[in-house]
Amino acid sequence: MVPLAINRGELEQLIDNAGLGSRSRQKLLTALEGPREQPKARGRKSKGHGAPAPDRRPVPTI
């Protein structure tokens, strides 16, 4: 597929002329920008909540 040479202003004008709603217009623009780079995860990783479940029930002492 040949890349399309068009600047952002022209692209927005075309989208405006198509009469799309603002939400679909935004989705179309973000889709055309291409994939985003995912930021590197920094800091501590999240851990589970609370204490681990006990292996068995405690035996009652009499």
Residue 2 has what pLDDT? Answer: 64
3 state SS of 17: helix
Q: How far apart are CA 56 and CA 5, in angstroms?
A: 67
> Phi and psi at residue 57, in whole multiples of 5°?
-75, 145
Spans of all domains in the chain: 1-34
Which pTM value belongs to this model? Answer: 0.34
Residue percentage of the chain with pLDDT more than 90: 0
Mean pLDDT in residue range 32-54: 72
Model confidence at 45: pLDDT above 80: no
Q: How far apart are CA 3 and CA 28, in angstroms?
A: 17
Residue 1 has what pLDDT? Answer: 59
What tens digit of pLDDT does each residue of 18-34 get?
777 778 878 877 777 77
